[in-house]
Amino acid sequence: MDNNKMVVSSSPHIRSIESVQSVMTDVLIALFPAALMAVLLFGYQALITMVISVATAMLAEALWLRKRDIYSDGSAAVTGLLFAMVLPPSPPWWLVVVGAASAIIIGKQVFGGIGYNIFNPALVGRAVVVMSWGGHLVGRVWSQPQPFAFTADISAVTTATPLSGQEEALAVSLTNLFIGSAPGCLGETSALALLLGAAWLFYKGHIDLRIPGGFIGVVFVMGAVFGGGFYGGALTTGLFHVLAGGVMLGALFMATDMVTTPVTTKGKLIFGIGCGIITMMIRLWGTSPEGVTYAILLMNAVTPIIDNFTVPQQFGGVKKSA
Amino acid sequence: MGSAVFKGGIHPDYHKEITASMAVSKMKAPSTVVIPLQQHIGAPCEPLDGIEEGVRVKMGQKIADSSGFVSAPIHASVSGTIKTIGAYNHPLGRPVKAITIESDEQEEWDEKVKPPGNIDDLSPDDLRKIIREAGIVGLGGATFPAHVKLSPPPEKKIDCVVINGAECEPYLTADHRIMLEKPEEIIYGLKLMIKALGAEKGVIGIEENKADAISVMEQAVAGEENITVAPLHTKYPQGAEKMLILVTTGRKVPSGGLPLDIGVVNHNVGTAVAITNAVREGKPLIERVVTITGSGINKPANLLIRVGTLVSDVIEVCGGLKEDTRKLITGGPMMGLAQPNADMPVIKGTSGILALTDQDVYIAESSPCIRCAKCVEACPVQLLPTSIAQAAEHDLFKKAEKLHAMDCFECGCCSYVCPSKIPLTQWIRVAKAEIAKANKK
């Protein structure tokens, strides 16, 4: 036996086959239904938006890290796709490029790259473009979905989102909101597609239901209690707030971003509930119709504090009386 | 069936099918054995008077002992002549003083190895003494002297003895075979423990992936009023002391405490058999069942091996190693120790010899933590492995201590699940060592 070839290392000697790349690839798979739905609803322009965004994000990361492996751990592609999903279906191409590059560079790489960023990169990208070119993302700029019309120019007919006012809200049924046939961001409109994807992530053990559960639960309750019942009653108004706008996308895919959310189980629930409360405070009592982006970014900021205060009781441990 | 569950844990590939159906066969005693004087947790032994180079010893003869309470004597595992006494490679890392005996192939038992008489007349103290003199230690791998566990302080009332037949480490099947082949000895050993402790009941925990062992043991306990078999979910680390006691008795060992704090003593099935052999036949612990397995072993087997047999001799009996073997492990793949070579003896705590080829050896660079919290979910004692590892990495050992690093028993689940391939368990070990050092000052 050649003794020199033996590997000596600390236990355990076996590892699961899961890697950062496989996790990120699972997230991409989970986003596929929503991406497909975007193309079905908004046609080729949505596809182009997603392709530009993903390509820019991957390229920006590869250039920053001077790496040839453009897919690498897959996290840049995830950020790129998520960023596209929080844009209108057919924004100007340069806006997509600037936003996706900002997401990667300002949102992630300046903090030290994957694992070290404090804020959700895709939402940082969105915050950058909303603040810089708000005219493209605020107001009556939202394309009416045109199902199964791949080549249609969707930018021709624009409207406001259901969240902009009671009149716009009442124009859309809950069923349409669930399936996704309502104006809104490219990837946020179809709760159905998002739930399908999230089910995959849950099945693979990548998300903890406490975050989306807390988030969606609070949005529903606050929508029902404080929403004024304009949408046919308290409960339907609660449901409306869950299904309209970015709550489903935010709760299932943004607030569950591993890097920027708590690691403790209790912390996850607090994070989800916090996102829900801030979202609804902005929607109900703020000046902006939608608050998911800032709700998640704000909760991202307090994630380290949440983790610090929610260290679990260890096995057989007793609570220290203060 | 089904049982209580513990939080956390993992489901690795078990690979037990390689050896599960192979009956234990006796490996022929080698021509030379190397018997380390430290094979247990506690004070090391010293050679007895008259045990020197050139002296002939008989099989089962006590050759080394210590005056420490937490210690276990060492016996000759063959009859023959002592060749050398000196440092030799040891599975735990550093070379340890060992007695090398050249066998005369006579297999002549020491005169003192004889049944101690009417067992019913033996008092708990007699039992403890016999078990101590037989050099019995925890055979699950922890090698804690068995008589110490059977000597709780008088204020701690023990009512339940838990026997560990979980064998949750992947690959290993030694305990599985012991349960299939020696059920009567296990039950007898358990009854002796119950008697030594003045306990009321016994329970034998077995993972459900060993259905045949469960039914054999259930048959064996039929008619026993105070002994039950508990089928357990197949989940690593089901056989860890704290997890096993929780699922079999519903009691939680307190943080920093011992099972005896909650009225429980826990022993491995192999230890139960060793105790039976010691009390019924007067036989000291000079051999144990070892699973030799893994992709790198040509002929995997479950062997009854003399303590002190060189791992290289065992591997030879098992057809040698495959060409592309890259890792040699004593114990299981989760908690076992990687060895630089096979030139070291099988000791009382060696439950397995595992050889892995290239394809099964994981060498990957770790990448930054993505805070996926899979380690948090997997930790059976509810720690935050990634936070402790991070603290250790930055020399923040006070913080690691606050995060209960000392509660970690190094099961390896966190490292196993980590998608970033961070050696979390290793970092926590670093933290534990530093915390222990700081607290000693």
| pLDDT for B60 beyond 50 | yes
Q: What is the pLDDT of residue A321?
A: 47
Q: What local confidence, expressed as pLDDT, does residue A322 receive? A: 40
* Phi, psi at B383, each rounded to 5°: -100, 175
Give the C-alpha separation, B382 to B385, whole Å.
9
Least confidently predicted of A165-174, B1-10, B126-135: B1-10
Say if residues B305 and B29 touch (Cβ distance below 8 Å).
Answer: no
Mutate to test the interface with B, among A11, A208, A307 (most CBs of B within 10 A): A11
For residues B413-435, average pLDDT: 96
H helices of A17-153, in order, are 20-42, 44-65, 75-85, 93-105, 121-132
Alpha-carbon distance of A139 to A290, in angstroms, equals 11
Interchain contact, A6 vs B338, CB within 8 Å: yes
Facing A10 at nearest CB: one of B342, B421, B423: B423
Per-residue model confidence (pLDDT) at position A146: 87
- Per-residue pLDDT tens over the stretch A293-310: 999 999 999 999 999 999
Residues 156-175 of A with CB under 8 A from B: none
Look at residue B162 and tell me whether its pLDDT is greater than 60. Answer: yes
Range B327-347 average pLDDT: 95
Domains for chain B: give ranges and CATH numbers.
Answer: 114-281 (3.40.50.11540), 374-440 (no CATH)
How high is the pLDDT of residue A137?
86
Q: Out of B10, B367, B377, name the one closest to residue A73 (CB).
A: B367
Mean local confidence (pLDDT), B270-295: 96
Q: What is the pLDDT of residue A320?
A: 58
Quote the minimal CA–CA distance from A216 to chain B in Å: 21
Q: How far apart are CA A21 and CA A31, in angstroms?
A: 15
**pLDDT bracket for residue A151 (50, 70, 90):** confident
Which residue ranges form the domains of chain A, and what is each CATH number?
20-309 (1.10.3430)
What mean pLDDT, rounded, does chain A reach? Answer: 93
How much of chain A is in helix, strand and coil states, percent to nearest 5?
60, 0, 40
Distances, alpha carbon B57 to alpha carbons A25, B78, B318, B346, B347, in Å: 64, 8, 28, 20, 19
Q: Which of A1, A14, A307 sits opposite B333 (nearest CB)?
A: A14
- B2 pLDDT more than 80: no
- Can you tell me the distance from the alpha carbon of A178 to that of A175, in angstroms, rounded to the nearest whole number? 5
Nearest-CB residue to A12 (from B13, B372, B412):
B412
**pLDDT averaged over chain B?**
95
| A150 contact B CB<8A | no
Q: Which chain B residues are closer than 8 Å to A311 by Cβ? A: 384, 387, 403
Q: Are A83 and A53 in contact (CB under 8 A)?
A: yes
Query: Which residue, among A205, A302, A294, A306, has the nearest Cα to A263 in the 3D structure?
Result: A306
Q: What is the pLDDT of residue A4?
A: 59
Q: Contacts of residue B370 in chain A, CB cutoff 8 Å?
A: 20, 23, 75, 114-115, 258-259
- Give the pLDDT of residue A319: 67
Q: Are B77 and B33 a contacting pair, CB within 8 Å?
A: yes
* Chain A residues within 8 A of B360 when measuring between CB atoms: 14
Contacts A265 to B, Cβ<8 Å: 376-377
User: What is the rounded distance in angstroms from the CA atom of residue B216 to the CA atom of residue B176?
Assistant: 11
**Cβ B326–A3 below 8 Å, yes or no?**
no
Nearest to B367 among A16, A20, A208 (CB): A20
Mean pLDDT of A190-197: 97
Query: Contact B9/B246 with Cβ under 8 angstroms?
Result: no
Phi-psi region of B331 (alpha: psi -120 to 50; beta: other; left: phi over 0): left
What is the DSSP code (8-state) at residue A312?
P
Question: Is B1 a residue whose pLDDT tops 50?
Answer: no
Q: How confident is the model at residue B117 (pLDDT cuts 50, 70, 90)?
A: confident
Amino acid sitting at position B363:
I
Alpha carbon of A14: minimum distance to chain B alpha carbons (Å): 6
C-alpha distances in Å from residue B335, one per residue of A5, A61, B262, B344, B351: 21, 38, 26, 18, 11
Query: B interface mutation test: which of A8, A13, A256 has the most B CBs within 10 A?
Result: A13
| Residue B8 CB-half CA count within 13 A | 28
